[in-house]
């Protein structure tokens, strides 16, 4: 019975489509990791990822192909996020997020660059993109230290704002900041 409960708890933390962590797991992990910063005086990095022109992709190729695209992106995140303390999650829709404890801005950007490269190497055709013939993504990377005036939601908002800056600046790019 205990093993079954453990399996159910694990399933409730996974996104059923991509197999990576879901938003609930992301939120809980971020709360815990930010709380840990208070004691460690370390850094925490967040990567927000949004698939470029995904609505157009879904409209043109259909939802079955859209789901397959999301599964493949989830696979890239699983492959690129290897440290056991790190977490890759489906944040919602075509957005993904990564939590990287004890990861400075330089290494967090390298991870984002690796994810971006591997997404490109999937060579998922995207005829409705004005950026590339393949599916691409825009990234926002934020690295923070603990501050009692800042909440975990504000850290996500910073990374999200950077991701939107990447979209406005031409998409298929990485914007980052240490705050």
Distance, first Cα to last Cα, the chain: 46
Exposed, middle or buried, 108 (CB in 10 Å: 0-12/13-18/19+)? buried
Cα(100)–Cα(119) distance, integer angstroms = 19
Triad 23, 100, 35: Cα angle to 5°: 75
Which two structure tokens, joined as six digits, stand for 88?
A: 């890759």
Asked if residue 65 lies in contact with residue 4, where contact means CB atoms within 8 angstroms, the answer is no
Residue 11 has what pLDDT? 52
Phi, psi of 156 (to 5 degrees): -60, -40
- Active site (catalytic) residues: 94
Band of pLDDT at residue 12, cut at 50, 70 and 90: confident
Q: How far apart are CA 166 and CA 138, in angstroms?
A: 6
User: Mean pLDDT, to the nearest integer, of 140-147?
Assistant: 95
The pLDDT, as a whole number, for residue 82 is 83
Judge whether residue 33 has pLDDT over 90: yes
Q: Which CATH number fits domain 19-178: 2.50.20.10, 3.30.70.270, 3.30.1540.10, 3.40.50.10860?
A: 3.30.70.270
Q: Which tokens hold the place of 9? A: 């708890």
Helix (H, G, I), strand (E, B) or coil at 50: strand
């Amino acid at each position: 019975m205990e093993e079954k409960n453990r399996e159910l708890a694990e399933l409730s933390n996974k996104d059923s489509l991509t197999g990576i962590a879901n938003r609930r797991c992301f939120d809980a992990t971020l709360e815990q990791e930010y709380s840990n910063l208070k004691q460690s005086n370390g850094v925490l990095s967040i990567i927000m990822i949004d698939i470029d022109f995904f609505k157009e992709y879904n409209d043109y190729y259909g939802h079955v192909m859209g789901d397959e695209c999301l599964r493949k992106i989830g696979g890239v995140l699983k492959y690129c996020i290897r440290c056991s303390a790190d977490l890759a999650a489906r944040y919602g829709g075509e957005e993904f997020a990564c939590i990287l404890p004890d990861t400075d801005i330089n290494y967090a950007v390298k991870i984002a660059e690796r994810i971006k490269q591997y997404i490109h190497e999937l060579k998922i055709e995207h005829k409705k993109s004005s950026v590339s013939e393949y599916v691409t993504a825009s990234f926002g990377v934020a690295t923070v230290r603990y501050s009692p005036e800042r909440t975990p939601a504000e850290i996500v908002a910073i990374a999200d704002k950077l991701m939107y800056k990447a979209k406005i600046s031409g998409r298929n790019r990485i914007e980052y900041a240490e705050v």
